[in-house]
Amino acid sequence: MRNTFDLIYLIPLLPLIGFLINGLARNVLSKTMVSIIGSGVIFLAFLLSVVVFMSIRGEGFIPQVISYFDFINVGKIKVSFAFQVDQLSSLFLLIITGVGFLIHVYSTSYMKEENAANFARYFSYLNLFVFSMLLLVLGANYVIMFIGWEGVGLCSYLLIGYWFKNTIYNNAAKKAFIMNRIGDLGFLLGIFWMINSLGSVSFQDLFNNENGIVNGISTLNTHTMVGITLLLFVGAIGKSAQIPLYTWLPDAMAGPTPVSALIHAATMVTAGIYMIARSNLMYTLAPTTMTVVAIVGLATAILGATIALKQNDIKKVLAYSTVSQLGYMFLGLGVGAYTGAVFHVMTHAFFKALLFLGAGSVIHAMGGGQDIRKMGGLSKHMRITYITFFIGCIAIAGIPPFSGFFSKDEILSGVFANNPVLYVIGLGGALLTAFYMFRLLAMTFMGKFRGTEEQLHHVHESPSAITVPLIILAFLSMVGGLVGIPAYLMSGGHKLGQFLDPIFLNSNAILAKYEIAHHTEWILTGVSTILILIVSLWAWKKYKNYQPETAEETGLAKVLQNKWYVDELYDAIIVRPLRSLSLFLNNVVERSGIDGLVNGVGKGINYGSRQIRLLQSGQVGAYILMMVIGTIVLFIIQMFAK
C-alpha cells in the first residue's frame, strides 16, 4: 500500500517538468519534440493516476495523507505541504490527466500553424495548468488547494490571452482574471475564518471520522459554519462561473479552442464543485448556505440556457451551455446530491470536452469562422466530427442511455426529493439545453452550406490527431454514465456512488435522506425523457433547413441575443461608477490633495529654512545670547514641567 503512494508526488511533478522544459527551451525545441514532451508527461501522469485509482478501488480504503514538509508553521497554525489520496481526489486525477492528455494530443494538430516558440509556449502553459489543477485536487488542506486554485487562475489568464496581440482577447483575459480574483478573495477570507475559529485547515483534522473538528459540531447553522461556507462558495462562484460572476466564461472563449475544452469546460471550472464536495460536511452543517447554493445554481442554469438559445457563435453557445451545466452541478450540491454533482462533473468533462473539440474541428475546417449562420451542411464533409458531435449532443441533452442522462437524472431526482418546485424549473432548463444543443447541431451540420465558395472548397475532415481524441471522448460520453446506474433501474448499479460513499458518509448521515419511491422515479424519468426527445426533435426540425433571417430580432429574442444585457448592466452599475470614482480620485484627490500636501510640506520647509538661515549671522555675541536664552527657556520648561 505505502509503496504506491510514495510516488504520488510524481503525478503533479511530471507536468511541472514538462512546463519547465517546454518553457525554458522554447526557442530550441522542434514542434515534434514539444508535442512529445508536452503530451508525454501528461500521459505518464495519467498512467500513474490509473495505478493510484486501481489501488484504492477496494473496500475500506482509508484516506492517505502524504506529508512532505512544513509549509507554514507559525504559532498555533501548522500547515504542511501534503497530498491527500482518497476516492474523490483519485477520481479527479483520472478526469484531469485523462481528458487533459486527449486535449494535449488534439492540440498538437490544432496549433500546428503557430511558430515553434509560440507552440512551445502554448504547451508549457497547458502543462503548467495541469500541474496547478493536480495540486488543487491533491492538496491535503485548503492552503495547498488555494495554491492550485490560484495557479489555474493564472494559467487560464495566460491561455485566454495566448494571442496577446489582439486587444479584445487581452481584455477577455483580464476580465477572467479580475472576476476570479473577486471570488478568490472570498475563498481566502473563508480560509482565514477557518483558521481562526476551527484552528486547522487540513481536511483530515477537520473531517476525519474519529475526531474531526467539524464532526464534533452537532448544531446546524452555527454562524461560523454559515459564514465559512458562504465565503468558500464566493470562491466557487468566481472559479465556476456562477451568477453574478459568470460573465468571464463566455469571454474566455477568446483562447484557443482546446483551451476552452480543457480549462473552461472540463476541469478548471469544476474546481468549485470539487471544493464544495470536499467540504461537504461543512455545507451539510449549514443548511442556509445549501439553500443559497441551490438557488444560485438553478438561476445560473436557467440564465445560461436561455442565453445559449440565441447565440450564433459556436463557441459562445457551448460556453453558455457550460455555465448552465455548472449551475446544475451547484444545484445538485445545494440539495445534498453530492454524488450526483461529482458524477455530473465527470460526464460533463467527457461530453463538453467532446463538444468543444468538435467545435474546434469545425472551426478548423471553416478556416477560423465561428458563426453558425455561415455554416451548414458540414455533415457531408466531416463525417467523424459530425457523428461524435451528435453523440455529444445526445449526451448533454440527457437522452438515455448516454452519460448525461444518468448524471442529470440523479441531480434532478435529488432536487425533486428536496423541493418539487425547483425540480420543475430545473427540468425546464434541461429542455432548454436539449433545444439549444440540437439547434446548434442542425445549424452547423444540416441544410445547405451558407459560407463562401472559398470556405466550401477548404472544408475537409480533420487529421487523426483531432479525430482520435474525438472518438475516444465520444465513446466515453456514450458509456461514461453506466458507472452510475440509479437503483431503480438496476440494484447496486451505482458503482460510482459506492466508490465515493466514504467521502460523503458523514454528510449523508446528517442529511435527512429523502427517498423517492421507485415508481415515482420511473414517472419522472419517463416524462423528462419524452419531453427532452420532443424538444430535441422540434429544434432539429426547426433549424434543419435554416435560412439566414434578415429581420432584426425583437422582444425577448433580442434580449436573449444580448445576453440579458448583463454586461451592460455591470458596465453601468459597477464599471462606470468605479471609473468616475477613479477619475475623481486621480484628478481631485491625487492632484490637488495629495500632491498639494506633499509639495506644500516641501515648500514650507524651504521657506522656513530660508528664514531661519538669517539667524546665523556670524556674530559670536549673538550666538552666546541665543545660547543663554535657550538655557533659560529650558530652565523654565524644566520648572513648569513638574
Partner 1 sequence: MEIKWYIFLSVALFCIGIIGALTRRNAIIVFMCIELMLNSVNLLLVAFSKMHLSGMGAGFPQYATDAQLFVFFIMVVAAAEVSVGLAIIVMMYRNTHSIDINFLNRLKN
Residues making contact with partner 1 (CB under 8 A): 616-621, 624-625, 628
Backbone angles phi, psi at 267, to 5 degrees: -115, -65
Q: What phi, psi does 368 have (nearest 5°)?
A: 100, -10
Instruction: State the cell numbers at 390.
Output: 451528435
Q: How far is the CB of 623 from partner 1 (least distance, A)?
A: 10
Residue 639 CB, nearest distance to partner 1 (Å)? 16
Instruction: Return the number of the residue (550 or 616) whose C-beta is nearest partner 1.
Output: 616
- Region of 555 please: left (phi>0), alpha (psi -120 to 50) or beta: left
How far apart CA 89 and CA 49 sit, in angstroms, is 10
Q: Cβ 618 to partner 1, closest distance in Å? A: 3
Q: Are 138 and 84 in contact (CB under 8 A)?
A: yes
Exposed e or buried b for every residue in 482-506, given b needs 16+ CB within 10 A?
ebbbbebbeeebbebbebbebbbeb
Q: Which of 7, 166, 153, 195 is nearest to 83 (CA)?
A: 7
Alpha-carbon distances of 426 from 297, 329, 342, 619, rounded to whole Å = 10, 11, 18, 95
Maximal C-alpha separation, the chain: 113
Shortest distance in whole angstroms from residue 632 CB to partner 1: 10
Handedness of CA 272, 483, 430, 487 (dihedral sign): negative
- Give the nearest distance from C-beta 622 to partner 1 in angstroms: 9
Q: Exposed e or buried b for every residue in 185-212, given b needs 16+ CB within 10 A? A: ebbbbbbebbbeebebbbbbbbbbeeeb
CA angle 568, 572, 575 (to 5 degrees): 100
Q: How far is the CB of 586 from partner 1 (least distance, A)?
A: 47
Complex with partner 1: residue 492 or 618, whichever CB lies closer: 618
Q: How far is the CB of 608 from partner 1 (least distance, A)?
A: 20
CB of 73 to partner 1, least distance (A): 57
Q: What are the φ and ψ backbone dihedral angles of 614, each rounded to 5 degrees? A: -65, -25
Nearer to partner 1, 368 or 618 (CB): 618
How far, rounded to the nearest angstrom, does the alpha carbon of residue 325 sit from its chain's CA centroid?
A: 12
165/613 with CB nearer partner 1: 613
Q: Which amino acid would we find at residue 567?
A: D
Residue with cell 483551451: 259
Is 583 or 626 the residue whose CB approaches partner 1 more closely? 626
Cell 447541431, residue located: 441
Pick the closer one to partner 1 by CB: 3 or 616: 616
Least gap, CB of 636 to partner 1 (angstroms): 16
Least CB distance to partner 1 at residue 617 (A): 7
For partner 1, the closer of residues 517 and 620 by Cβ is: 620
**Nearest-angstrom CA–CA distance, 304 and 564:** 10
Give which of 123, 106, 119 is closest to 41, Cα–Cα: 123
How far is residue 196's CA from residue 346's CA, in Å, rounded to a whole number? 34
Q: Which is nearer to partner 1, 452 or 619 (CB)?
A: 619
Give whichever of 527 and 636 is closer to partner 1, judged by the CB atom: 636
Nearest to partner 1 of 586, 617 (CB atom): 617
DSSP E strands, 359-456: none
Q: Between 620 and 639, name the residue whose CB sits nearer to partner 1.
A: 620
Q: How far is CA 607 from CA 428, 556, 596, 601, 610, in A?
A: 76, 69, 16, 10, 5
Q: Which three cell numbers stand for residue 75?
A: 504559532
Q: Which is nearer to partner 1, 547 or 619 (CB)?
A: 619
CA distance 499 to 407: 15
Cβ-based nearer residue to partner 1, 583 or 625: 625
Q: How far is the CB of 641 from partner 1 (least distance, A)?
A: 22
Strand partners, 416: none
Q: Smallest gap, in angstroms, from Cβ of residue 627 to partner 1?
A: 10
> d(Cα 541, Cα 60) in Å, to the nearest integer?
51
Q: Concatenate the DSSP letters of all residues of 30-51 into one string.
A: -HHHHHHHHHHHHHHHHHHHHH
Q: How far is the CB of 582 from partner 1 (least distance, A)?
A: 53
